[in-house]
Structures are given as structure tokens and as C-alpha cells.
Amino acid sequence: MKQAQLRLLKEQNPFTPLHMLVGDLLIQEIINYRILPGSRLVESTIAEQFGVSRSPVRMAVELLAEKGFVERVDRRFYVKAFSDQEYSELSDLSFLIEPYAAGLAAEKLTPGDLETLFDLARQLQRFYREAMRQTGPIDFCPVIEVEHQFHGLIIQASGNTVISNIYKQYRYRILYYRSYVLQNPPYKMLDVLADDHLLICNTLKLRDPDMASAAVKRHLSISQQVITKSIIAKSE
């Protein structure tokens, strides 16, 4: 499975160094909590899974350390644990740039961009409504990438290169903490999320910057409230 993913990624990005492709796939595994916080990254095991030598794996893991996803302990690498402080800092950053970007995007979105956002929002709506009907464990991994595309397109449509560059630098860390919410979400949260992305789209369609900014800020606050409650419960 991982070898097939790597082959596809190489075909799509023929000029990207191998270690960066391996690093991207490892980041996806971490974001989706397929590799859990605190897990040790064993180079030989990863190399075997991806069908590559240990050299690009070592470079990929070192790259992940630079990006803050893993940490070195006694010459071994481990996925960083959930950090309350880092979450708080990234949440502040997200609240600063995403609502502002949405306000800009409301006036600059092309009809094609808006159509794409509506399509992504409908995908998310179908997923969350289906999740509400399930009684067993829910695999939220497929929805993480769609969430990423939705928020990333709004940032891109803002037309602000500074905001876009900041978001690109931190997007995976922000996504990592957002996906944490989906590991054990309150039932009522799924009910809200099912329609929330369409609400943002309809607000953007009105081309009102203030309303678009408020809609995204409300959306972000949902994740923040759930994580904050989880942090409080953990400390008690």
C-alpha cells in the first residue's frame, strides 16, 4: 500500500527529491493518527514499507524533525506528543489569518473557486451525516484531506501571498491539531460540521467580507472549544 502511494507520488512529482516525497507521506500518516503521538520511527521498518533504502528515510525523518512533527531522543526519533501550548499558539495564528483571508476571498473568489468549495462542502456534509449514523468506530482519515483542501482554497483565493506563505508553512501542524478533534468527537459536533462548510460557502457567495470572516471564525471556534474542554478534562 505505502509503496503504491509512493510510486503515484513520484509520478505526480517527478522532480521532487525522494526524501521529500517520503516525508510528505509520513506527515500524512502522522496527521491522520495512523502513526500515534509518542511512536518511535524506525528507519529500517519505514524503508521496508516504502520499498526504499534507509538514506531517504533518514533524510525524511530529519526533515520532519525540522518541521516539528518528530523529536530526537538519544539518537532515536519519536512522533511529538500533543502539546497544549503549541495548540494554543497555532489556534491563535489560525484565528488571525483564516477569518481575514475569508473576508478577502469573499470579494475575489472566481465562480470556479466557489463551485469547487461547494463541491468539497457537499463531500464533507455527506461524510459527517454518514458518520452520525454509524455505531462503531469511525475512520475520519478520508475527510482530513478534504478539510485541508477546503481551508487551503479559501486561503489561496484571498490573493494575499504573505498569508498564503504563512499558511503553507504551518498548515500541516494546524491540520494535525484539527484532526485531533475528530479522533473522538462529540455527537453534536458532527451535526454542526455536517452543514457548517456549506454555511461558509453560502456566506462567501453573498460577497460580504464581514459575514464571511464571521462564518469562518465561528467554524474555527468549534474545534477550539472541543480541544479546550479535552485539555481541561485531562488536567483534572
Query: Which tens digit of pLDDT belongs to each residue from 201-222?
Result: 999 999 999 999 999 999 998 8
Please, which pLDDT band fits residue 232 given cuts at 50, 70 and 90? low
166, pLDDT greater than 80: yes
230, pLDDT greater than 70: no
118, pLDDT greater than 90: yes
Please, which pLDDT band fits residue 136 given cuts at 50, 70 and 90? low
Instruction: Please tell me the predicted confidence (pLDDT) of residue 172.
Output: 82
- Contact yes or no for 201/114 (Cβ under 8 A): yes
Q: Which of the listed ranges 1-5, 37-41, 193-197, 212-216 does the model predict with the highest average pLDDT?
A: 212-216
So where are the chain's domains? 2-79, 84-235
Candidate CATH numbers 3.60.20.10, 1.20.120.530, 3.30.1600.10, 3.30.930.10; the one for domain 84-235: 1.20.120.530
Asked whether the domain spanning 84-235 has the same topology as the one spanning 2-79, the reply is: no
223, pLDDT greater than 80: no
Instruction: Please tell me the predicted confidence (pLDDT) of residue 104.
Output: 97
Instruction: Please tell me the predicted confidence (pLDDT) of residue 157.
Output: 97
What φ, ψ does residue 232 adopt, rounded to 5°? -65, -45
Query: Which tens digit of pLDDT belongs to each residue from 61-98?
Result: 998 998 888 998 988 999 988 788 888 898 899 999 99
Residue 170: all three cell numbers together: 504551518
Q: Which of the listed ranges 34-48, 128-142, 222-236 does the model predict with the highest average pLDDT?
A: 34-48
Q: What is the mean pLDDT of residues 194-203?
A: 94
Please, which pLDDT band fits residue 158 given cuts at 50, 70 and 90? very high
Q: Could you tell me which residues are beta bridge partners of residue 41? A: 77
Mean pLDDT of the chain: 88
- Contact yes or no for 196/101 (Cβ under 8 A): no
pTM of the model: 0.81
Question: How far apart, in whole angstroms, are the C-alpha atoms of residue 200 and residue 204?
Answer: 6
Question: How far apart, in whole angstroms, are the C-alpha atoms of residue 226 and residue 53?
Answer: 41
In 182-208, which ranges are continuous DSSP H helix? Answer: 187-205
**Domain 2-79 architecture:** Orthogonal Bundle (1.10)
Please tell me which residue, 186 or 93, carries the higher pLDDT value: 93
Please tell me which residue, 158 or 176, carries the higher pLDDT value: 158
